[in-house]
Amino acid sequence: GNSVTQMEGPVTLSEEAFLTINCTYTATGYPSLFWYVQYPGEGLQLLLKATKADDKGSNKGFEATYRKETTSFHLEKGSVQVSDSAVYFCALSYGGSNYKLTFGKGTLLTVNP
């Protein structure tokens, strides 16, 4: 079946540091890929997405590129801020039931001033 594996946390960085959170997936065919972010006390919000190979999703300074050859969708940001502290979830959807999101376990990011 489909699955998502993402980097174990927690990740702690200083403000303005470079961020990478790794995400790899297993799926037959070509899934759509997503990153969701959950701020403390809130619901998950879609951060960015990519629906086909080599697409780059970007939003709020975050980027991720859909790499079919390595089945990866790593999240990156060049300079993190304290306000980026949150839990980040990688997810995919696929096929005829593309409303079903399959999530990774989440990575807690803490950014210190």
- Applying CB under 8 A, which residues contact another protein? 4, 32, 34, 36, 38, 41-46, 51, 89, 91, 93, 97-106
Residues 6 or more apart whose Cβ sits within 8 Å of residue 38: 44, 45, 86, 87, 88, 89, 106
Nearest to 24 by CA among 108, 90, 99: 90
- Rounded to a whole number of angstroms, the CA Rg of the chain reads 14
Give least dist CB 87 to another protein, A: 11
Minimum CB distance to another protein, residue 102 (Å): 7
Q: Smallest gap, in angstroms, from Cβ of residue 113 to another protein?
A: 26
Nearer to another protein, 60 or 79 (CB): 60
- CB-wise, 29 or 43, nearer to another protein? 43
Specify the long-range contacts of residues 67-70, CB closer than 8 Å, at least 24 apart: 68/30, 70/24
Which of 40, 113 has the CB closer to another protein? Answer: 40
